Amino acid sequence: MSNFTKEMSEHKIEMSCLVDWLSFTLQDNSKHSVDSIITDILQIDKDKFFDCKKGHHGYKSQKAYDNIRIYSDGNTGMGIHVQMSGSGCRLFEETYKGTWKDFLLSINDANISRIDLAIDEKQGLLDLEKMAEKIKNKEVVTQFRSWTETNSGTFEFKNIGKTLYLGSVTSDIRFRIYDKAYETAHKWLMTLDENEIPRRELMRWSEENHWVRFELQFRDDLAQQIVSKIIENNDDNFFPLVAGVIKDKIRFVEPSESDINNRRWVESDFWLTFLEGVEKLKISVKPKKKDITDSLNHFEKQYAPTLATIFTYFEGDLDSILSIIYRGKKRMKSKHYELLNSVT
């Protein structure tokens, strides 16, 4: 059985949840080394890793085992950074003896910079075309401010690889919903010879099977929060946690002719079925209270060149500059006095 035939045969109906990206940094170099991370934490034979010619992310050294990468030899305080892409996570699962919960618990002293958690929906509940249309028609209630739709395809496939993004590229949380059946078939298609008969089988499989992947990308503080939730969870199955975040961030609704407020519209049946029995899980970045240091850093970054220009214009006459400052003091508001009061 070829690799792609094996993967196609393992397509199952039930929904499942998986880790599809993980990046973390271990800061304590006295406790952790590249070799100890490979053998003791990842539990992989270190001979499987090879030295890359270049580092990355500010690190001078890089070791790689497929898409499991370890970066080291950075500046003081950078520690050792580990990155696993989706395929790296699948490779890691092949040899790791415990669960993802066990692994995350073993790196509880790490700084988690990114984790992607994904739900594979294979029951036909999520129709990407329908979801895109409802988003365009504002038949959603969501905390996200922006969304993007992308489409891709080949002249051989009838269907199109549609992807919906909710949230911005730079946000701490972002949703990505896409046709995993198309992506999987297209990936294998690129490995086949043009005259190979299984190409037709592969295209037919893509058209006949429903497989939508719903990914949640968490960064920085939100990544730390969701990992803590997974570790605290009594069950190794973290589907309820992931689905709970989805339920909190967005819901699809049915329009009402008698009410223009979409927040009061009835939730769509497909969405109710998809998240049936799930409770909302609220995670959010707590706004950092600004202090005088933030203002000083902002001023230096944004206005130092302007201040230097004024200083040069007055030929170093500080009295002229002080007169501008005193006039500005008369216009100070409560928010400025709050910053002064933040100094301890």
- Please classify residue 183 by burial: count the beta carbons closer than 10 Å to its beta carbon, then call 0-12 exposed, 13-18 middle and 19+ buried: middle
Q: How far apart are CA 75 and CA 152, in angstroms?
A: 41
Residue 48 contacts residue 147 (beta carbons within 8 Å): no
Contact 259, 141 (CB under 8 A): no
**Token pair 């969405």: residue:** 271
Whether the Cβ atoms of residue 119 and residue 243 lie closer than 8 Å to each other: yes
- The percent of the chain in helix, strand and coil, each rounded to the nearest 5, is 40, 20, 35
pTM strictly above 0.85: no
Distances (CA, A) of 305 to 3, 296, 298: 60, 14, 12
pLDDT tens for the 344 residues of the chain, in order: 345 445 444 544 566 789 999 999 998 877 889 999 999 999 999 999 999 999 888 899 999 999 999 999 998 889 999 999 999 999 999 999 999 999 999 998 899 999 999 999 998 999 999 999 999 999 999 999 999 998 877 666 666 778 999 999 888 999 999 999 888 877 777 666 666 656 677 777 777 788 899 999 999 999 999 999 999 988 888 899 999 999 999 999 999 999 999 999 999 999 999 999 889 998 876 655 666 777 777 777 788 888 888 888 888 888 888 888 888 888 877 777 766 676 65
Contact, 212 vs 132, CB < 8 A? no
Q: Residue 194: helix, strand or coil by DSSP?
A: coil
